[in-house]
Amino acid sequence: MIYAFDTFYYEDFAKTVCIAFENWNSETESFIFSENTEISSDYESGAFYKRELPCILSLLKKIDLKESDLIIVDGYVTLDNTGKIGLGGYLYESLNEKYPVIGIAKNGFASDDSQRRTVCRGESKTPLFLTAIGFDVEDAKTNVENMHGKFRMPTLLKKLDQLTREKDELNVIN
């Protein structure tokens, strides 16, 4: 199973959604998991993971990961050639390096990273930026290129982004 995570921040809470799907070319999800949590820290430039990682880890408690599963995050796994890691790298470490993590970011990152790949989908001239750990980055690139959908964002990742933006204040955890 592939589990894709995204978090959106409202004024007083964060909404994290996970879409689970069987295969890279799946058109529809198998499951959707969602959780609203209190925001645990302010945004800190250069340390985005400190804010988002607790949200993902909390939602992961509702999911029974299997050995062959992998995780997609909205962001970076690696940030440069010196070993600096992003959200996906910290998630990989938090999960005891048991599950491959692929980061798909919509915006570029300034530093050089030999493990970063650009993915152009559909007729878009604007790439997605892909990094991975525990999974071959070239295979990840090919898989993302072939995900369902004709546009820059694959169908299920676009749906994931939309779901995080649908405000639902009833499930805030205290």
Alpha-carbon span 139 to 12, nearest angstrom: 39
Instruction: Read off the pTM.
Output: 0.91
pLDDT of residue 82: 93
**Domain containing residue 7: CATH number:** 3.30.2170.10
- Residue 141 CB-density burial (10 A; 0-12 exposed, 13-18 middle, 19+ buried): middle
pLDDT tens per residue across span 118-144: 999 989 999 999 999 999 999 999 999
Task: Choose between 88 and 38: higher pLDDT.
Answer: 88
What pLDDT score was predicted for residue 50? 74
CA nearest to 122, candidates 157, 102, 147: 147
Total count of domains within the chain = 1
d(CA 75, CA 32): 20
Give which of 44, 51, 103, 52 is closest to 79, Cα–Cα.
Answer: 103
- The alpha carbons of the chain give a radius of gyration, in whole angstroms, of 15
Tokens of 148: 């369902």
Question: What is the C-alpha separation between 9 and 52, in angstroms, rounded?
Answer: 9
Q: Report d(CA 95, CA 70) in Å as an integer.
A: 11
pLDDT the model gives residue 42: 66
- pLDDT (0 to 100) of residue 109: 85
- The whole-number pLDDT of residue 145 equals 96
106-119 tens-digit pLDDT: 999 889 999 999 99
Higher-scoring residue by pLDDT: 128, 47: 128
Is the pLDDT confidence value at 104 over 80? yes
Among 143, 123, 121, 146, smallest CA distance to 132 is for 143
Element (H, E) at 70: strand 70-74
Domain carrying residue 97: 2-173
| Residue 15 parent element (H or E) | strand 14-21
Percent of the chain whose pLDDT exceeds 70: 91
Distance (Å, rounded) from C-alpha 7 to C-alpha 51?
10
When pLDDT is averaged across residues 76-89 and rounded to a whole number, the result is: 94
pLDDT at 171: 47
Length of the chain: 174
Say whether pLDDT at 167 is over 80.
no
